[in-house]
């Protein structure tokens, strides 16, 4: 029915069609959309969140306008998916947004560095998290949260020497005019790390400032018994 030349042309066309179909399939199955649907396992509520985030990103791209507020919203939205799924894929998406925010706003805004630090910590990149917390402190020394995050990072993730941890609390209290919350964190750490004499001094200050707090008095009695 077909001569040799026609057969070769038809065969070549079929091969090209198969390659195109195969390439399309490979592209689809490797695409972010497919990977996300696979990760979210048909959860319609989470898929709706994903679609909303992608819509926000598309709007930013179309308008050619990225504001600090939009960076925070989209970064937090990706992080929220990470929190709900415990899937590092979404934390990586969040970190990428905050890193873009750092390029655009980082030199003058503490929030992008602080949020990037938290997400880097979730991704177990502790050195990067430490760097971002430190940069947050450098930008806004009077903002207490990065000190607490850094101290917790040193305590629970990086196993830093106690003197390094206490130094963070002291640095934070000095910069925040003796922030009461950081002071309490320091007292609690001293107590848990068996620095009983220093902890006792801390809790006596707390008890003096808050005389109606019976909990502080109980801790003082506990520490005094351990020092004897």
pLDDT per position as a tens digit, 129-174: 999 999 999 999 999 999 999 999 999 999 999 999 999 999 999 9
Residue that has been written with the tokens 């029915």 in this structure: 1
* pTM, full prediction: 0.82
Contact criterion met (CB below 8 Å) for 185 and 151: yes
pLDDT per position as a tens digit, 89-119: 999 999 999 999 999 998 788 999 999 999 9
Burial 26-36 (b: 16+ CB within 10 A, else e): eeeeeeeeeeb
Residue spans of the domains in the chain: they are: 1-30
Count of CA atoms in the C-beta half-sphere (13 A) of 51: 7
Q: Within a 10 A sphere around the Cβ of 11, how many other Cβ atoms? A: 11
pLDDT of res. 25: 41
Residue that has been written with the tokens 């950081």 in this structure: 182
């Amino acid at each position: 029915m077909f001569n040799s030349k026609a057969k070769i042309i038809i065969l070549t066309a079929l091969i090209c069609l198969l390659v195109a179909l195969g390439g399309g399939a490979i592209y689809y199955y490797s695409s972010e959309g497919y990977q996300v649907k696979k990760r979210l396992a048909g959860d319609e509520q989470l898929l709706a969140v994903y679609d909303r985030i992608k819509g926000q990103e598309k709007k930013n791209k179309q308008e050619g306008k990225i504001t600090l507020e939009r960076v925070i919203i989209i970064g937090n939205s990706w992080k929220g998916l990470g929190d709900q799924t415990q899937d590092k894929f979404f934390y990586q998406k969040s970190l990428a947004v905050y890193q873009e925010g750092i390029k655009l706003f980082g030199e003058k805004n503490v929030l992008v560095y602080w949020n990037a630090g938290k997400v880097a910590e979730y991704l177990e990149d502790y050195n990067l998290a430490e760097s971002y917390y430190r940069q947050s402190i450098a930008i806004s020394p009077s903002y207490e949260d990065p000190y607490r995050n850094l101290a917790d990072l040193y305590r629970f993730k990086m196993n830093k020497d106690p003197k390094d941890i206490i130094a963070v609390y002291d640095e934070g209290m000095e910069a925040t005019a003796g922030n009461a919350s950081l002071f309490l964190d320091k007292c609690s750490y001293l107590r848990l790390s068996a620095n009983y004499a220093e902890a006792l001094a801390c809790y006596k200050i707390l008890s003096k400032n808050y005389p109606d707090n019976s909990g502080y008095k109980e801790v003082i009695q506990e520490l005094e018994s351990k020092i004897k």
